[in-house]
Structure 1
Amino acid sequence: MGKKQFKAEEHHDGIRLDQFLVTQMEEHSRSFLQKCIKEHKVLVNDRIQKNRHVIKKGDIISVDLVEPEELQVEAENIPIDIVYEDDFLVVVNKPQNLVVHPSAGHWQGTLVNALLFHCKEGLSGINGIIRPGIVHRIDKDTSGLLVVAKTDQAHKHLAKQLSEHTMLRSYKAVVRGIIEEDELKIDAPIGRHKVQRKKMAVVKEGKPAITNIKVLQRYKNHTLIHASLETGRTHQIRVHMAYSGHPVVGDELYSRPEKHFNLKGQALHAYELGFVHPETNKLVHFNAPLPPYFEALLKMI
């Protein structure tokens, strides 16, 4: 994992050390970060502090993350929809109800387990044993396209495009209510929810997050939208649409249950992916048709 360093800004003034770390390292749980503080892996201005230490503007926070246990991730013969493959990368059309990589409670049956079986020649090792080849993720109950790197060089190239926001990632979603504007930009920072730690939320001290929305079709009580990401925060589209008052249909984490649609997850599909190929330096572009669950929902509404 390695070392990281952050500088507290004005809007961080007065918050606890553990809360500050949650806003900066949203990929980790609060309990994990509190453990790092307790084990003196976190320094504020080169001094050991406690979880409740109050941060001030200008403070330098250094983090030496605890190394995870080495785990053996098994290859599993799980069918996957390969859209494109060469010696450097794989583009996969992930179905709903498939976790991308192993984590607590999901050590088997993930996309990574399937890819280890399929790509016997190997995947990039930059993200370690648990997330080999994984450049970016989509949620368990979101369907659609993602690119996986086979080599470390390809991984670095793709990760750079992702961080510089030059990778095209477009989604289709069905949301509740009628969006009156034909196009809108949602520019609202996202961070961990202050109370419900499994959720993300629009919070002042969160990381910048921008989602561009285009209305494709209006129905009686719903809207079909095209959403493109300028940033890649956890649950970004789901959080932004709930924040706008138009939550994604079927998203029980950020909206009320809608059992009558008989969905197994949110109606959110990553249908378009484009990037510069790390070996040829040519722009490549992929599309994934709407899956049956999404088509069935459109008929119902």
Structure 2
Amino acid sequence: MLQKETHIVNENVTPKRLQEYGVGVFQRISTKSALKKAIKKKLILVDGVIAATATMIIGGETIVYKHPAENEYNTRLILKLDVIYEDEYLAVINKPAGILVSGNGFKTVANALVQNLHKSSATDAVSPQPVHRLDYATTGLLLVGKTSSVITSLNQLFENKNIEKEYFAVTIGGMDTVGTINSDIDGKPSKSSFEVLKSIVSERFAYLNLVKLSPHTGRRHQLRKHLLSIENPILGDATYFLTELQLKGKGLYLHARSLRFQHPITNEEMYIESKLPKKFTKLFSDH
């Protein structure tokens, strides 16, 4: 038996091919490879016509995704999420460390959203979906859409760089008080700025710094790669670290602290902030 999910494209969308537009539109299609597989299996229709990867999305289309009904899991996922903000159209949750935002696994934030959020009463309500990613080990604010039109609008805000994200990290070694990092990532121009809020002397690491970070581009692992590039890696990073200066067993000290954006429905200026994890404040509380 096939289940059907429907997505209505915003009239003001920037024209693009389905293989670019369709990633993240449906909860089960969070990557380009997953989208291509669904298209190849003829599970996606645009305005009633079986879609191809090159199908152009110009605005106002109805995209339908037909998929086999999943068997119920023997064990229902029970994951309590910290909901920071919620209304009829969107929500912001505080992502815990050590869990994927989405993907094919059972234990993901995406799979836990339905049990933690109220169902929207809007006419285009859908299963709530994260509209951006945080790394597996990163904690902090994750923006979620609850209606088809709002998910599209939030994706456009990210695409147009109209959502401001601020992170806090603990970094290793002596640093300038403020600075900007412009080194390319994967051959693409990338920019991050930082401000050191507090530094303490460390016997093992020389210095540990509480740093405020602002990514101006959205490359994968951008902040982690940028800080390693200036030899100030993030404490606890198991992938981007300096030899013999890796802290194991404490997790990554990177937290998505705040989000600022214009609400797609109310046009209200939204500013949402979360508390720093205890492992951050514990390091700097006595200094």
Question: Structures share a fold, TM > 0.5?
Answer: yes
Note if 1:288 corresponds to 2:274.
Answer: yes
Where 1:157 maps in the other structure, the secondary structure is helix
Alignment of 1:25-36 (within 5 A): none
Alignment equivalent of 1:189, drawn from 184, 191, 214 = 184
Alignment equivalent of 2:165, drawn from 162, 165, 169 = 169
The whole-number CA distance in structure 2 between the counterparts of 1:238 and 1:300 is 27
The whole-number CA distance in structure 2 between the counterparts of 1:172 and 1:287 is 11
Aligned to 1:98: 99
Alignment equivalent of 1:210, drawn from 182, 187, 191 = 191
Alignment equivalent of 1:115, drawn from 113, 116, 121 = 113
Aligned to 1:252: 238
Alignment of 1:117-196 (within 5 A): 117-119=115-117, 121=119, 133-180=129-176, 182-191=177-186
Taking only the aligned residue pairs, the percentage that are identical comes to 30
Q: Size of the alignment, in residue pairs?
A: 229
Contact conserved, 2:168 with 2:210, CA < 8 A, in 1?
A: yes
The whole-number CA distance in structure 2 between the counterparts of 1:260 and 1:144 is 21
Aligned to 1:79: 80
The whole-number CA distance in structure 1 between the counterparts of 2:32 and 2:148 is 24
Q: Which amino acid aligns with 2:214?
A: S
Contact conserved, 2:194 with 2:214, CA < 8 A, in 1?
A: yes
TM-score normalised by length of structure 1 = 0.65
Q: Which has the higher mean CA deviation after the structures are superposed, 269-278 or 289-298?
A: 289-298
Where 1:150 maps in the other structure, the secondary structure is strand
Note if 1:268 corresponds to 2:254.
Answer: yes
- Unaligned residue ranges in structure 2 (runs of 5+): 1-16, 21-30, 41-52, 56-64, 202-206
Where 1:241 maps in the other structure, the secondary structure is helix
The whole-number CA distance in structure 2 between the counterparts of 1:257 and 1:162 is 37
- Say if 1:93 and 1:3 are closer, same or farther in 2 by CA, change over 3 A: closer
TM-superposed CA distance for 1:266, in Å, is: 1.1
Cα RMSD (Å) of the superposition?
3.6
Q: Which amino acid aligns with 1:83?
A: I
Where 1:190 maps in the other structure, the secondary structure is coil
Aligned to 2:25: none
Cα displacement string for residues 166-225 of structure 1 (whole angstroms, at most 9, x for unaligned residues): 211000101110102x2111112212xxxxxxxxxxxxxx22221111111122212211
- Say if 1:152 and 1:257 are closer, same or farther in 2 by CA, change over 3 A: farther
TM-score normalised by length of structure 2 = 0.68
- Say if 1:261 and 1:76 are closer, same or farther in 2 by CA, change over 3 A: closer
TM-superposed CA distance for 1:259, in Å, is: 6.9
Aligned to 2:204: none
Contact conserved, 2:235 with 2:247, CA < 8 A, in 1?
A: no
The whole-number CA distance in structure 1 between the counterparts of 2:244 and 2:140 is 22
- Say if 1:143 and 1:286 are closer, same or farther in 2 by CA, change over 3 A: same
Aligned to 2:24: none
Where 2:129 maps in the other structure, the secondary structure is coil
The whole-number CA distance in structure 2 between the counterparts of 1:151 and 1:112 is 15
Q: Which amino acid aligns with 1:116?
A: V
TM-superposed CA distance for 1:64, in Å, is: 5.9
Cα displacement string for residues 259-287 of structure 1 (whole angstroms, at most 9, x for unaligned residues): 76740x21001111111011100111111
Contact conserved, 1:94 with 1:146, CA < 8 A, in 2?
A: yes
Where 1:100 maps in the other structure, the secondary structure is coil
- Say if 1:123 and 1:168 are closer, same or farther in 2 by CA, change over 3 A: farther
The whole-number CA distance in structure 1 between the counterparts of 2:121 and 2:68 is 17
- Say if 1:300 and 1:254 are closer, same or farther in 2 by CA, change over 3 A: farther
The whole-number CA distance in structure 2 between the counterparts of 1:262 and 1:123 is 43
